[in-house]
Amino acid sequence: MEITFELGYALDTFYFLICGALVMWMAAGFTMLEAGLVRAKNTTEILTKNVALYSIACIMYMVCGYSIMYGGDDFTWFLSGITGDGATGEAEPATYAPSADFFFQVVFVATAMSIVSGAVAERMKLWAFLAFTVVLTGFIYPMEGSWTWGGASVFGMYTLGENGFSDFAGSGIVHMAGAAAALAGVILLGARKGKYVDGKANAIPGANLPLATLGTFILWMGWFGFNGGSVLATATVESANSVAVVFMNTNAAAAGGLVAALLLARILFKKADLTMALNGALAGLVAITAEPSTPTPLQATLFGAMGGILVVFSILALDKLKIDDPVGAISVHGVVGLLGLLLVPVTNSDAATFSGQLLGAVTIFVWVFVTSLITWAIIKAVIGIRVSEEEEFEGVDISECGLEAYPDFTSGR
């Protein structure tokens, strides 16, 4: 092989691996965010859910998810490993290591599932959650992934790509999908005791805001890998420029979202609401994810700010509807994920149309929501999904995990 081909292959592979490591790091971000936003008595359990879901996602995507999404008829690559010739059966030589592609893809699956854990926090049975994880990461997500990034047709009926659908790094494919699965779970699960009393939504403050802030910073950093790696190449001037624009715009959108949410919360509540600001940053990130490579920096900042404003109103609206989402995940990833999809044609009308984006959004949402609802319902019928009232009152840490998260700070209360 030519040395210049080898160097390009090596650089693209290294780029994928580093971006993948950053996305893996997002699992820590979700974990810290969610652990910071629940009460102390439910912390060990949400930590356990998060580390377990990441691990299950890695296993299920290896066993069948990757093949469903990209592999066509090859369900057994994990028995032989992925070689340099390309595991997906493509005829042309790969321009980066196929294992690096798997590594990058697998951390995305975990991201989708991480979104669910926050929304169902503080009252769901741990093993019911993990059973759902197996189905979502091994089947539900890979199926919709196959229709979008995989390029397959939706049950032989239509092809999203040919209808003007584009989702660069997954505002819809990853984030809205995770939120759809979460929404289905929350509807079947019901609200936490004491959340909605006499038609009023009570604030249930998180136990550890530095953790939530750390989690947001981790997600912000990891998102450089999430969006930046989705350019899928960096070893040419054109692709390198694109990756650079994506990093710059991802950062700008998060900044715009944070400032917008902070100002709006100041106007609405007269206080600098940290949790709204953090959700604003995350909303900015979700909003730019469907197309971070074509906006100008100013557009990216404004798109992020739109996400930051939308997320505040969405969180308030979901509380009116008594949809109890302790960390705001459905708003951040679902409502703003849809916004992200709809913003793509504004700056990239070559790749996407509004009708195409709507078709894609509906396809993803209906598929994930319906299959998730069925899955949650089956799990509910078989083993139940909600802890007992007494366990919820005592906190799920003791009943599910047998360990308090902060025994030296909270014991005796």
Q: Is 248 in the site for a second copy (CB under 8 A)?
A: yes
Candidates 235-243, 311-319, 348-356, 375-383: pick the segment binding a second copy (CB under 8 A). 235-243
CA 8 to chain centre: 30
Query: Cα separation of 132 and 125, whole Å?
Result: 11
Considering the complex, state which of residue 279 and residue 314 has its C-beta at the smaller distance from a second copy.
Answer: 279
Backbone angles phi, psi at 180, to 5 degrees: -65, -45
State phi, psi for 202 to the nearest 5 degrees: -90, 140
Binding test (CB under 8 A) with a second copy, winner from 73, 80, 156, 200: 80
Of 258, 342, 379, 387, which one interacts with a second copy (CB under 8 A)?
258
Residues 6 or more apart whose CB falls under 8 angstroms from that of 326 comprise 37, 38, 118, 119, 121, 122, 192, 204
Q: Classify residue 200 by burial, with Cβ atoms within 10 Å: 0-12, 13-18, 19+.
A: exposed
As given in the structure block, the two tokens for residue 214 are: 């750390």
Return the residue of 75, 155, 158, 269 that touches a second copy, per CB under 8 A. 269
Where in 195-214 is the site for a second copy (CB under 8 A)?
A: 205-211, 213-214
Report in angstroms how near the CB of residue 135 gets to a second copy at its nearest.
16
Using DSSP's 3-state secondary structure scheme, residue 38 falls into coil
Distance, CA of 335 to CA of 346 (rounded, Å)? 18
- Please tell me whether residue 78 binds a second copy under the rule CB under 8 A: yes
Q: How far is the CB of 33 from a second copy (least distance, A)?
A: 11
Residues 302-331 that bind a second copy (CB under 8 A): none
Among 69, 218, 339, 387, binds a second copy (CB under 8 A): 218
Ranges within 81-110 binding a second copy (CB under 8 A): 81-84, 96-100, 102-103, 106
The distance from CA 386 to its chain's CA centroid, rounded to whole angstroms, is 23
Q: Cβ of 271: how many Cβ atoms within 10 Å?
A: 9
Would you state the structure tokens that stand for residue 405, as one six-digit string?
A: 């998260």
Q: x/- string (CB under 8 A) for a second copy, residues 134-173?
A: ----------------------------------------
**Among 154-162, 216-224, 319-327, 351-359, the segment contacting a second copy (CB under 8 A):** 216-224
Interface positions, 38-57, toward a second copy (CB under 8 A): 39-41, 43-45, 47-48, 50-52, 54-56
Among 126, 188, 191, 359, binds a second copy (CB under 8 A): 126
- Rounded to whole angstroms, how far apart are CA atoms 165 and 253? 22
Asked if residue 235 binds a second copy (CB under 8 A), the reply is yes
Closer residue to a second copy, CB minimum distance, 273 or 325: 273
Six token digits for residue 247 = 């990093």
> What is the separation of C-alpha 287 from the centre of its chain, rounded to a whole number of angstroms?
12
Among the listed ranges 154-162, 191-199, 375-383, 404-412, the one in contact with a second copy (CB under 8 A) is 404-412
